[in-house]
Amino acid sequence: MSVIQQILNHRSIRKYKPDPIPEDLLHEILQAGIRTSSSGNMQTYSIIVTRDQQLREKLLKPHMGQKMVVDAPVFLTFCADFNRMRRWLKINEAADNFDNFFSFLIGSIDAILVSQTVALAAESHGLGLCFLGSTLANADEIGEILGLPKNVVPVAGFSLGYPDEQPDLRDRLPFSGLVHWETYRNYSDLEIQDIYSERDNIGWQRYMKSKWLREQVDEKGIDNLAQLYTEVKYTRSSHQDYSRKLLTYLENQEFMINKGD
């Protein structure tokens, strides 16, 4: 299968066989990951490979109870990491740096690029995975469980194992809604409605399979998918809470946000 065919066949996998991933295969896909380009070739990331059952059970709560964390044999956490680099600076009597917002983003980009390389390397060997956004949302609690020192912050993570399901391809927004030619061309209201028309139907049907979401829809008088998103799934107050929590954690981890710094 070509690289592009493999990419077009991607599904997030939420059900796994109990089979462990052979040690040499795990090494092979991680070795591929670390060939990824990084800012200034600084490689300001770390990959944490968690196989221990008890540890994955501890990770379950900050991952919001998503069972893939315990059902898959491996959980990978990709972290922005300037701890290693700053330790190297200190040993070499170099000027300190990288305890700032820009560095946090540089490390995050490094880590996220690596995560997608590892994901595609893993899928090329028949493994399945599911990225969990909870890695970022609850970075502080996950960092505590994984014993992260200052200047290390989890930004992406996925469960990994052999698939025990073959779900349908998930819908995507149309190409023309995601790609701009030359410069950004802003959308008319009609274009927005067109871009989301398929999603409005498919997404709604998908979520209405959940009894809890159906109850929420009735209770709150929700009419459409957009309202379901911001009145139930991703509320303004929850996102403001996550923003504050992350900003506090970044300061604790010595990525200083203060604009006047």
Residue ranges in 56-95 that form contacts with a copy of itself under rule CB under 8 A: 79, 83-84, 87-89, 91-95
Q: Lay out the site mask for a copy of itself across 12-31 (x = CB under 8 A, - = otherwise).
A: x--------------xxxxx
Distances (CA, A) of 252 to 77, 138, 151: 19, 14, 9
Among 21, 140, 203, 254, binds a copy of itself (CB under 8 A): 203
Q: Does residue 136 touch a copy of itself according to CB under 8 A?
A: yes
Burial of 193 (0-12, 13-18, 19+ CB in 10 A): exposed
Whether the Cβ atoms of residue 59 and residue 50 lie closer than 8 Å to each other: yes
Q: Does residue 194 touch a copy of itself according to CB under 8 A?
A: no
Among 165, 167, 193, 215, binds a copy of itself (CB under 8 A): 193
Among 177, 204, 213, 216, binds a copy of itself (CB under 8 A): 177
- Distance (Å, whole) CA 151 – CA 89: 14
Q: Lay out the site mask for a copy of itself across 108-127 (x = CB under 8 A, - = otherwise).
A: xx--xx-xxx--xx-xxx--
For 30-67, give one letter per residue: b (16+ CB within 10 A) or e: bebbeebebeeebbbbbbbebeeeeebebbbebbeebe
Among the listed ranges 14-22, 159-167, 168-176, 210-218, the one in contact with a copy of itself (CB under 8 A) is 168-176
Whether the Cβ atoms of residue 78 and residue 59 lie closer than 8 Å to each other: no
Backbone angles phi, psi at 150, to 5 degrees: -50, 150
Q: Does residue 166 touch a copy of itself according to CB under 8 A?
A: no
Shortest distance, position 139 Cβ to a copy of itself, whole Å: 10
Shortest distance, position 247 Cβ to a copy of itself, whole Å: 5
